[in-house]
Amino acid sequence: MTEEQDELIYRNNRELHYSFDPEKGYTRKVDYQYPGNQVIIQQGWDVVESRIRDVSARIKEGKLSPLAFYMEKNQMELPMLSDYTGFMRWRIKRHLKPGVFSRLKPATLTKYASVFDVGVNELLNPPLT
Amino acid sequence: MIELNFEHRQAGHCESGVTSNLLNYHKLSISEPILFGIGAGLFFSYLPFLKMQHAPLTSFRVWPGMVFDRATKALGIKTKIHRFRNPADSMNKLDEVLAQGFPVGLQVGTFHLPFFPPEYRMHYNMHNMVVYGKKDNIYLISDTVIENKVEISYDDLMRVRFAKGTFAPRGRMYYPYLVPSAVDLKPAIIKGMRKTANNMVEVPFPLIGTKGIRFLARQMRKWPQKLGDEKASYYLGQVLRMEEEIGTAGAGFRFIYGAFLDEAGTILKQDWIRELAVEMGEAANHWRKFSYYGSRNCKKRAKPEESYDMLADMLMECADMEEKVFLKLAKIR
């Protein structure tokens, strides 16, 4: 098999890799992730980006609250966000409605903001894409 | 301030690497592949009813914690394992154990792990690393994925220990405290081999082992029609991401397992096991080829003949190759 030598996308860290060659047997080397793997890691992030774009559009249309943006940004679905905040799932679902979200108490907003690592102001005005 | 004299070594699989490094601290030197094999770390399961990041869960190794538990038990090493409800308790206990002079293994989530490469920061809760010291409010960390030793703050550490979601670590910490100066690897190796062979070819359930690989292959053929191109490509990408995990070089831990068979054959003085290591290596290379063509497919660079059908055929071949290895390995006594 000849692998195309593509440009590396990520050069943040080198890892230990095992490999096998019928002549040389098992070997270990420390290197960047090989290009094929980098492609699929990037694919994962591309999907996250496209979900953020979709949800941004729906927030602009007034169909979803800013909470939806941060859920996608942090890749958190209802069950996980419920675990992090301690809020029941049905409550979070309600908070996805712009009307309900705009009337939330400061304490609730602060809780969301801390889970998403942003200020309350940023939570209310997400950087939509 | 505590700083234990801990040697940081990178590894191909975080948990067996952590186990190897922890034992090394206690002057027991066992390689990562041997511990991976004794802990029966190799596995396959395809669980379409469980979703992870919007795609079916595929796993190429056993559940977190099992490698450490099985390997230390089989070698007669005394260990302590704790889980916690209360995050503050978990940090107090960690400080206490460090003060006693033991480096500690932790299961953590990677999403909020500050020293992790950004491209890896997904919600992945099966990562393992070692804490070997503390300076004021900063903990000293040896993470087998990262090239050098790193540090993490008290708050960040508490956060990653209590990551939420699938396989939430719940503050899990573990450490060996009584390690014999020499152990007999042979019975442990044989036990580990039988466990893995059993998992891979003998469990009468269609979603795990080589049966699971074939099940996935049959599903994969239908993905483009059933899901449409975009979703099919994402599902495929998810299989590949799990196969890669971190540092497996595209073969879902098959290379490490092959290296285990190679070393084990020498330790047991049984040449047929070293021959199996070669077969395993060929299977691993086939997995890697699957991963390579799969990633081309995800990148929409695939030629028509590199379709899902071809990938499914390759998976079937991987299953056949592994089945041969494990049917033979099952006969070890």
Determine the residue of chain B that is closest to A72 in CA distance: B53
Query: What average pLDDT does chain A have?
Result: 91
CA distance A114 to chain B (A): 12
CA distance A97 to chain B (A): 22
Q: Does A86 touch chain B (CB under 8 A)?
A: no
Instruction: For residues A35 and B237, give the distance between their C-alpha atoms in angstroms, rounded to a whole number.
Output: 14
Q: Does A32 touch chain B (CB under 8 A)?
A: no
Structure tokens at B217: 């292959």
A-B CB pairs within 8 A amount to 121
Question: Tell me: the pLDDT tens digits for A36-47?
Answer: 788 888 888 998
pLDDT value for B79: 98
Name which of B32, B229, B282, B292 to mutate to probe chain A: the one with the most chain A Cβ atoms within 10 A of its Cβ: B292
Amino acid identity of B315? L
Task: Give chain A's domain count.
Answer: 1
Secondary structure (3-state) at B153: strand
Instruction: For residues A15 and A97, give the distance between their C-alpha atoms in angstroms, rounded to a whole number.
Output: 44
Q: Is B2-30+78-178 a CATH 3.90.70 domain?
A: yes
Please check whether residue B167 is in contact with residue B123, taking contact to mean a CB–CB distance below 8 angstroms.
no
Interface touch B164/A84, C-beta < 8 Å: yes
Determine the residue of chain B that is closest to A50 in CA distance: B230
Instruction: For residues A54 and A94, give the distance between their C-alpha atoms in angstroms, rounded to a whole number.
Output: 20
pTM reported for the whole predicted model = 0.92
Instruction: For residues A115 and A107, give the distance between their C-alpha atoms in angstroms, rounded to a whole number.
Output: 13
Q: Is residue A41 part of a domain?
A: yes
Q: Considering Cα of B212, then B214, then B218, then B221, what sign does the dihedral take? A: positive
User: In DSSP terms, which residues pair with A112 in a beta bridge?
Assistant: none
Instruction: For residues B23 and B82, give the distance between their C-alpha atoms in angstroms, rounded to a whole number.
Output: 18
Q: Is residue A107 part of a domain?
A: yes
Please check whether residue B256 is in contact with residue B76, taking contact to mean a CB–CB distance below 8 angstroms.
no
Instruction: For residues B33 and B19, give the distance between their C-alpha atoms in angstroms, rounded to a whole number.
Output: 11
pLDDT tens for each residue of chain B, 333 residues long: 999 999 999 998 889 999 999 999 999 999 999 999 999 999 999 999 988 778 898 988 888 899 999 999 999 999 999 999 999 999 999 999 999 999 999 999 999 999 999 988 888 888 999 999 999 999 999 999 999 999 999 999 999 999 998 889 999 999 999 999 999 999 999 999 999 999 999 999 999 999 999 999 999 999 999 998 889 988 998 898 888 766 555 577 899 999 999 999 999 999 999 999 999 999 999 998 998 888 888 777 666 666 899 999 999 999 999 999 999 999 998
Q: Does A39 touch chain B (CB under 8 A)?
A: yes
Instruction: For residues B47 and B210, give the distance between their C-alpha atoms in angstroms, rounded to a whole number.
Output: 14
CA distance B158 to chain A (A): 13
Instruction: For residues B275 and B324, give the distance between their C-alpha atoms in angstroms, rounded to a whole number.
Output: 12
A-contacting residues of B 111-130, CB under 8 Å? 111, 117-120, 122-123
Q: Hey, which bits of B101-239 come out as E strands?
A: 104-108, 127-135, 138-142, 150-153, 173-178
Q: For tokens 């040449």, what's the residue? A: B271
pLDDT value for B241: 84
Interface touch B53/A3, C-beta < 8 Å: no
What are the structural domain ranges in chain B?
A: 2-30+78-178, 207-329
Q: Does A125 touch chain B (CB under 8 A)?
A: no
Q: Is residue A118 part of a domain?
A: yes
Of B268, B60, B52, B254, nearest in space to B165 by CA = B52
**Does the structure show a pLDDT above 70 at A8?**
yes
pLDDT value for B146: 94
Output the domain CATH number for residue A44. 1.10.260
Q: Hey, which bits of A22-109 come out as E strands?
A: 25-31
Name which of B32, B34, B111, B119 to mutate to probe chain A: the one with the most chain A Cβ atoms within 10 A of its Cβ: B119
Instruction: For residues A103 and A98, give the distance between their C-alpha atoms in angstroms, rounded to a whole number.
Output: 9
Q: Range of A46's domain?
A: 37-124
